[in-house]
Amino acid sequence: MSAKTNLWVDTAILVAFLVAFEPVLTGIAIHEWLSLALAATVIIHLLLHWDWIIKVGVQFFRKLFHSSRLNFVINLVLFAAYILVMLSGILISRSVLSVLGIQIEATPAWRSLHSWSADLSLIFTGLHFALHWKWIVNTIKRYVAQPIGSLFTVRKLQPAAAKSTIKEN
């Protein structure tokens, strides 16, 4: 899959994550449905990086030290935090479960676990972001900054093309 596709999927995930993180802005119903959609998109993100996950996962216990180890551990914690956010969110849900006609008796602890795991996922999203900083900067330069920059640069006529233009005149 191309880096361009990855960039757009990741941007969509980040924007949806930031919006879903603020139920005060969206209201409970949108917060819950948007978070469900976000979970599906996160799985697509994992799917796009399947080869890397398998490669590093296999090497994880073979070689003790390699550069992707920290990245892998942070991604695992982030995945677990997202699962806890989703699980606790579903268990305390008022909109999604009522639409689906499901009633779950869960302990009030899930409410606190929801906010606690949300904070954890925010911190680990920051770490995930930091570890991919070089890729983010390079991809944005290549697919966003350069195409926008080329719109404003004055194109010089090639010598041959310039001659033919003069002749035509």
**Which residues bind to other proteins, rule: CB under 8 A?**
18-19, 21-31, 43-44, 46-47, 50, 79-80, 83-84, 86-87, 91, 94, 106-113, 122-123, 125-127, 129-131, 133
d(CA 73, CA 67): 11
**Which is nearer to other proteins, 135 or 164 (by Cβ)?**
135
**Category of 107 on φ-ψ map: left (φ > 0), alpha (ψ -120 to 50) or beta:** beta
From the CB of 8, what's the least distance to other proteins, in Å?
17
Measured from the CB atom, is 108 or 159 closer to other proteins?
108
Q: Supply the minimum distance, in Å, between the C-beta of residue 107 and other proteins.
A: 4
- Residue 38 CB, shortest distance to other proteins, in Å, is 13
Shortest Å distance, C-beta 127 to other proteins: 6
44 vs 162, beta carbon nearer other proteins: 44
CA distance 87 to 116: 13
Nearest in space to 34 (alpha carbons), one of 20, 14, 44, 13? 20
Specify the residue, 18 or 37, whose C-beta has the smaller distance to other proteins. Answer: 18
CA–CA dist 111, 107 (Å, integer)? 8
Q: Which residues contact 9 (CB under 8 A, 6 or more apart)?
A: 41, 44, 45, 48
